[in-house]
Amino acid sequence: MPKSRKKASVEELSAQAQFVFRGTVRQRGAATLDQVALSRETLIVGVEEILKSPDVLMDFEGMDITVQLARGQRVEVGKTYIFYTNGWLYGQGLAVQCVALSPDADVDRRKARVSLEAAPARAVQERAKRAELVVTGQVTEVREASPPAKTPITEHDPAWQQAVVAVDTVEQTASRAVRKPKPKQIVVRFASSFDVLWSKAPKFSVGQAGVWMLGDKQEGAKLRAAAGAQKSEFVVVDPEDFYPMESAEQVKALLKK
Amino acid sequence: MIKVVNVIPNALSGETNQDSEPNITVNPANPNEMAISAFTPDPMGGSNAPIFISTDGGNTWALNSIVPSQSGNATGDITFRFGSTGSRFYAGILRRPGSLRLNVLRSANFSAPGTMTVLVDRTQVDQPYIQAATVPSGADSGKDRVYVGLNDFAATGGKTATVERSLDAAVASPTFTSIRIEKRGTGTAGQNGPQIRSTVHSDGTVYAVFYGWRAFSAINVVTSDVVVVRDDNWGSGSTPFTALTDPADGVAGRRIATAVQFTWNGTLGQDRLGGDLSIAVDPNNSSTVYVAFCDVQSGAYTIHVRQSTDRGANWSADLKTITNAKNPALAINSVHRVGLAYQRVTGSGAASRWETHLELTIDAFTTSADSVLATTPANLPAPQFLPYLGDYLHMATVGLTFYGVFSANNTPDTANFPQGVTYLRNHNFTTKKLLALNGTTEVPVSIDPFFFSHSEPFVTQITHLTGLTSLTRLTALTTFTRLTQLTQLTRLTKLTLFTHLTQLTPLTHLTQLTRLTQLTRLTQLTRLTQITRFTPFTPFQGEPAVEARTVVPFIRFGNTIFAPEELDLSRFAELSGAVEELAGAGITRLHQLVSADPYMLISAIGYSREDAWRLIELAQALMRGLAH
């Protein structure tokens, strides 16, 4: 990382990097994959402890991988570092690109662990910050929604439906959405399509209960327009827009922090 | 001859994604370089979606995340192609976030890290399907032509079938132009179907095929024409893609089938249906073009294959129909062999299977050799989304070789892959289990992409690729030997024997010593030397006027010359069991069997692929023994 830039915090690095590990530099100018073009910045690193990784790559703990350093990053062969990296090539082995690294001091390792453990909670809090309204409630009705004008026939049709949600509690409001007294019910427009572009969008059925993080202070109007929704409707297409009732207490606690 | 490889790399042994709707491209300048796409998310949840890359001819694969997308998600629809020279790599995608956002992308190096450059970014577009070619000669030599077939809902009048064209896509900021190729009304449908496919010949001929929707009923039944358009100069003129008109109405766009019907969002083997198209032009003859399309016949979703040999003006009836099948992919190699890959459902309920086939023909499907690449359970695993296997797959050729990709249930069971299979991810063929990277944890079955390739038999490869000089001693040419324009025959000696099916091309030079039989076919374009016993101006029409001569046939192998009867199959005890069957296929002598096309043996006699090859190899061994 260039010296002139402000050093990123552990929290920032934890958010930027998807694969964080403690590892020892074994070899410089070498790689574990044939497809990697070698340079002085190419390292073989032994992964000793994985601090953050998707499940599918957790088994790389104890194995050698390839790390491509960014310009200006310095390491010594034989020394151990905490590597903040993102994926590059996945083949016979793994190659990652280094976002940042720090010496393997206890304090840095501890900071990284704390930060990484807090990451899911931060994601919930950030979604809540953008929301126009956060409620708990239960779906009482699901119905077809009128599509936007000039909806073409396409395999990627979201197949909009409306879920009527009986509101139990209002956890958070933003100015646009403030209603007093609290709304008894809200209407949520969601994509019922099973198409690849919409399969991860939350689907709702009668009786389903949970926490809805509704609207977006910045993008809400655009989302409504694209979905052909009324101003009174909320468009829910992101997995982070809804949490099932089992997580409700946890989510509510995070909102209070 | 056929190679099948599960392309999920070892590093991702634990993955369980539904890697469906695969596409493939092979670098014509270096066929060892190839890429495959599928609905595969970045393994680390990054904002770029990955492509599968291989630099060793498809033996090993790695993921490289270079396609701009949305964190944690696969890209939407994606197809890609290399230019014909260099390593420029183009893609057409539906970009996330959003659902109908077209991006046309480019990269100078498909295996390097980074994000592909965005060339086009706009909305209201469905199913971009890209083709690319580099102009080989002339004023525009070296320019990359790129064609993206797409359904553009911004088009007026419901004529949405579009080809997005760039005549020079390699420059820093290329210009793309939207060419509307539908010239008829779309009736109650108000739009065309999403499949707009193109094929490009190096002489500048570009064909495209699309469903010209004419009606869309309240119960989602589509009524459609299948329309082919053509341009003869790279789609560059003032009225591009209007070279073909339909004789019935005089409108641009030849209807090769009319009023075909199918149900939009129908189902087959857990997958969805909504139309399928494929088109391929012969790389050595731009007049020959094949189309595959689907409709419903007697309640069954059916693939049809048709052919034109006059640049799309006239079309055959069905050369081939396959019921309960989808995802047709056509390709034609450099010796005119046509390949058709497709997937069909057999059986029902728990016994239902998805079969993936590769069918090859040299005679427009009068005969063909059918290889089952995979036969996998159709009811497992449960879909994670649609499409289950894909709204399409793809096959291409470079030279003689066919390269393709399909998606299927990834159970590591060798019985599911009759041509053999290689897994890069951890697996156990004995227990039929997938294993995680640690080699012990069992991994659930999912849908994976499988690469396949098919190479021509060795004998044909010699004739096509070998530069034959005046010093080359040619042995007997068989009925299946093809002398193409690329075969450099500078001089044929008196020892060369031409049989009645030997095809002479414009560049074949015949000398005074060449022996021609009564049945040797000379075309109007065959160059004859001054010593040849024909007048220079003899108009050859129909059967050529060939002077009757007495021919004393012989067969030469290496330095040994045989009288034909010496090679009668009945003289070889090792072949005694097959003599009658082979005779039925016109093979009565050893040299014929040595250079026989195994696919002819398979289709004409019914041999298995293994038996056909074993027999040919045995004949070759016997012939070598005789020559020594």
The CATH number given to A10-119 is 2.40.50.120
User: Tokens 């207490």 — which residue?
Assistant: A249
Per-chain mean pLDDT for chain B: 86
Question: Which residues in chain B have their CB less than 8 angstroms from residue A199's CB?
Answer: 384-386
**Who wins on pLDDT, B570 or B345?**
B345
Question: Which residues in chain B have their CB less than 8 angstroms from residue A241's CB?
Answer: none
Q: From CA B182, how far away is CA B160, in angstroms rounded?
A: 7
Q: Which two tokens stand for residue B435?
A: 């294993």
pLDDT tens digit sequence for B555-591? 766 656 677 777 889 888 878 788 888 988 888 888 8
Question: Which residues in chain A have their CB less than 8 angstroms from residue B194's CB?
Answer: 154-155
Confidence of residue B610 (pLDDT cuts 50, 70, 90): confident
Nearest CA in chain A to B384: A199
* Residues pairing with B285 in the sheet: B282
Q: From CA B203, how far away is CA B200, in angstroms rounded?
A: 8
Q: Do the domain assignments include residue B128?
A: no
Residue B381 contacts residue B447 (beta carbons within 8 Å): yes
Average pLDDT over every residue of B400-406: 95
Contact across the interface for A87 and B43, Cβ inside 8 Å: yes
Contact across the interface for A87 and B12, Cβ inside 8 Å: no
Q: What is the pLDDT along chain A (257 residues), one digit of tens a residue?
A: 444 446 677 778 878 899 999 999 999 999 999 889 899 999 999 999 999 999 999 999 999 999 999 999 999 999 999 999 999 999 999 999 999 999 887 777 777 777 777 777 888 899 999 999 999 999 999 999 998 888 999 999 999 999 999 999 999 887 544 455 678 999 999 999 999 999 999 999 999 999 999 999 888 899 999 999 999 999 999 999 999 999 889 888 888 87
Question: Which residues in chain B have their CB less than 8 angstroms from residue A194's CB?
Answer: 383, 385-386
Residue B11 contacts residue A92 (beta carbons within 8 Å): yes
Average pLDDT over every residue of B82-101: 93
Confidence of residue B473 (pLDDT cuts 50, 70, 90): very low
Contact across the interface for B39 and A196, Cβ inside 8 Å: yes
Is the CB of residue B387 less than 8 Å away from at least one CB of chain A?
yes
Contact across the interface for A87 and B189, Cβ inside 8 Å: no
What CATH number is given to the structural domain containing B146?
Answer: 2.115.10
Q: Is the pLDDT of residue B530 over 80?
A: no
- If asked whether residues B529 and B446 sit together in one domain, one would say no
Q: How far is CA A33 from CA A68, A88, B5, B34, B55, in A?
A: 12, 11, 19, 17, 12
Sheet strands side by side (includes B442-443):
B427-428, B433-435, B442-443
Task: List all residues 6 or more positions away from B495 whose beta carbon is below 8 Å from its beta carbon.
Answer: B473, B474, B556
What is the pTM assigned to this prediction? 0.82
pLDDT computed for residue B474 by the predictor: 40
Is the CB of residue B9 less than 8 Å away from at least one CB of chain A?
yes
Q: Is the pLDDT of residue B19 over 60?
A: yes
Residue B102 contacts residue B117 (beta carbons within 8 Å): no
Average pLDDT over every residue of B302-314: 98
Q: Is the pLDDT of residue B383 over 80?
A: yes
Q: Which of B125-134, B185-194, B387-396, B602-611 shows the lowest per-residue confidence on average (mean pLDDT)?
A: B602-611
Is the CB of residue B7 less than 8 Å away from at least one CB of chain A?
no
pLDDT computed for residue B109 by the predictor: 94
pLDDT tens digit sequence for B95-110? 998 879 999 999 999 9
Looking at the 3D structure of chain B, how many domains does it have?
Answer: 3
Q: From CA B296, how far away is CA B277, in angstroms rounded?
A: 14
pLDDT computed for residue B257 by the predictor: 98
Interface of chain A against chain B, CB under 8 Å? 18-19, 33-35, 37, 53-57, 59-60, 68, 86-94, 97, 150, 152-156, 158, 194-200
B residues 553..592 contacting A (CB < 8 A): none
Question: Which residues in chain A have their CB less than 8 angstroms from residue B224's CB?
Answer: none
* Residues pairing with A167 in the sheet: A137
**How far off is chain B from A169, nearest CA to CA, in Å?**
31
Nearest CA in chain B to A16: B46
Average pLDDT over every residue of B343-354: 96
Q: Is B600 helix (H, G, I), strand (E, B) or coil?
A: helix
Confidence of residue B470 (pLDDT cuts 50, 70, 90): very low
The residue segments making up the domain with residue B441 are 2-25+134-457
Q: How far is CA B209 from CA A90, B241, B390, in A?
A: 37, 11, 19
Question: Which residues in chain A have their CB less than 8 angstroms from residue B264's CB?
Answer: 153
Q: Is B162 helix (H, G, I), strand (E, B) or coil?
A: strand
Mutate to test the interface with B, among A21, A67, A94, A196 (most CBs of B within 10 A): A196
Nearest CA in chain B to A151: B153
Question: Which residues in chain A have their CB less than 8 angstroms from residue B14's CB?
Answer: 55-56, 59
Task: List all residues 6 or more positions away from B500 whose beta carbon is below 8 Å from its beta carbon.
Answer: B479, B517, B519, B520, B521
Question: Which residues in chain A have their CB less than 8 angstroms from residue B65's CB?
Answer: 87-88
pLDDT tens digit sequence for B209-259? 999 999 999 999 999 999 999 999 999 999 999 999 999 999 999 999 999
Q: Is the pLDDT of residue B352 over 70?
A: yes
Q: Is the pLDDT of residue B68 over 60?
A: yes
- If asked whether residues B434 and B484 sit together in one domain, one would say no
- Domain final position from B426, B457, B488: B457
Helices (H) and strands (E) in chain A, counts: 4, 11
Contact across the interface for A90 and B11, Cβ inside 8 Å: yes
- If asked whether residues B448 and B527 sit together in one domain, one would say no
pLDDT computed for residue B510 by the predictor: 56
Average pLDDT over every residue of B303-319: 98
Question: Which residues in chain A have their CB less than 8 angstroms from residue B153's CB?
Answer: 150, 152, 154
Q: Is the pLDDT of residue B266 over 90?
A: yes
pLDDT tens digit sequence for B242-256? 999 999 999 999 999
Q: Is the pLDDT of residue B422 over 90?
A: yes
Task: List all residues 6 or more positions away from B93 whose beta carbon is below 8 Å from its beta carbon.
Answer: B67, B75, B76, B77, B78, B102, B103, B105, B128
Nearest to A87 among B39, B46, B100 (CB): B46
pLDDT computed for residue B571 by the predictor: 84
- Domain final position from B123, B142, B168: B123
- If asked whether residues B156 and B79 sit together in one domain, one would say no
Average pLDDT over every residue of B260-272: 97
> What is the DSSP secondary structure assignment for residue A28, as one 8-state letter?
E
pLDDT computed for residue B253 by the predictor: 98
Nearest CA in chain B to A194: B385
Q: Do the domain assignments include residue B38?
A: yes
- If asked whether residues B411 and B464 sit together in one domain, one would say no
Q: Is the pLDDT of residue B83 over 90?
A: yes
Q: Helices B598-605 and B609-627, interaxial angle, to 10°?
A: 130
Contact across the interface for A197 and B96, Cβ inside 8 Å: yes
Domain boundaries, chain A: 10-119, 131-256
Q: Which of B267-276, B551-560, B603-612 shows the lowest per-residue confidence on average (mean pLDDT)?
A: B551-560
pLDDT tens digit sequence for B427-439? 999 999 999 999 9
Helix (H) or strand (E) holding B91: strand B89-94
Q: Do the domain assignments include residue B603?
A: yes
Average pLDDT over every residue of B37-59: 95
Confidence of residue B475 (pLDDT cuts 50, 70, 90): very low
- If asked whether residues B7 and B116 sit together in one domain, one would say no
Helix (H) or strand (E) holding B126: strand B125-134
- If asked whether residues B84 and B173 sit together in one domain, one would say no
Q: Which two tokens stand for residue A191?
A: 């994509």
Q: Do the domain assignments include residue B535?
A: yes
Task: List all residues 6 or more positions away from B24 whose beta carbon is below 8 Å from its beta carbon.
Answer: B34, B35, B36, B37, B394, B395, B396, B403, B404, B405, B451
Question: Which residues in chain A have their CB less than 8 angstroms from residue B386's CB?
Answer: 155, 194-196, 199
B residues 175..214 contacting A (CB < 8 A): 189, 191, 194
- On the question of a common fold for A10-119 and A131-256, the answer reads yes
Q: From CA B505, how far away is CA B508, in angstroms rounded?
A: 5
Pick the CATH number of A131-256 from 1.20.1260.10, 3.40.50.720, 2.40.50.120, 3.40.50.2000: 2.40.50.120
Q: Is the pLDDT of residue B20 over 90?
A: yes
- Domain final position from B409, B430, B457: B457
Q: Is the pLDDT of residue B468 over 80?
A: no
Nearest CA in chain B to A93: B11
Contact across the interface for A194 and B216, Cβ inside 8 Å: no
- If asked whether residues B443 and B540 sit together in one domain, one would say no
Nearest to A153 among B53, B191, B272 (CB): B191
Q: Is the pLDDT of residue B491 over 80?
A: no
Characterize B436-457 residue by residue with b for buried, 16 or more Cβ atoms within 10 angstroms of its Cβ, and e for exposed: bbeeeeebebbbbbbbbbbebb
Rg (chain B; Cα; Å): 26
> What is the DSSP secondary structure assignment for residue B320, as one 8-state letter?
E
Q: Do the domain assignments include residue B129?
A: no
Q: Which residue, among B137, B49, B164, B31, has the nearest Cα to B87 in the 3D structure?
A: B31
Q: Is the pLDDT of residue B520 over 70?
A: no
Residue B372 contacts residue B353 (beta carbons within 8 Å): no
Is the CB of residue B444 less than 8 Å away from at least one CB of chain A?
no
pLDDT tens digit sequence for B355-372? 999 999 989 999 999 999
pLDDT computed for residue B553 by the predictor: 57
- If asked whether residues B453 and B463 sit together in one domain, one would say no
Of chain B, the percentage scoring pLDDT greater than 90 comes to 69
Q: Do the domain assignments include residue B440?
A: yes
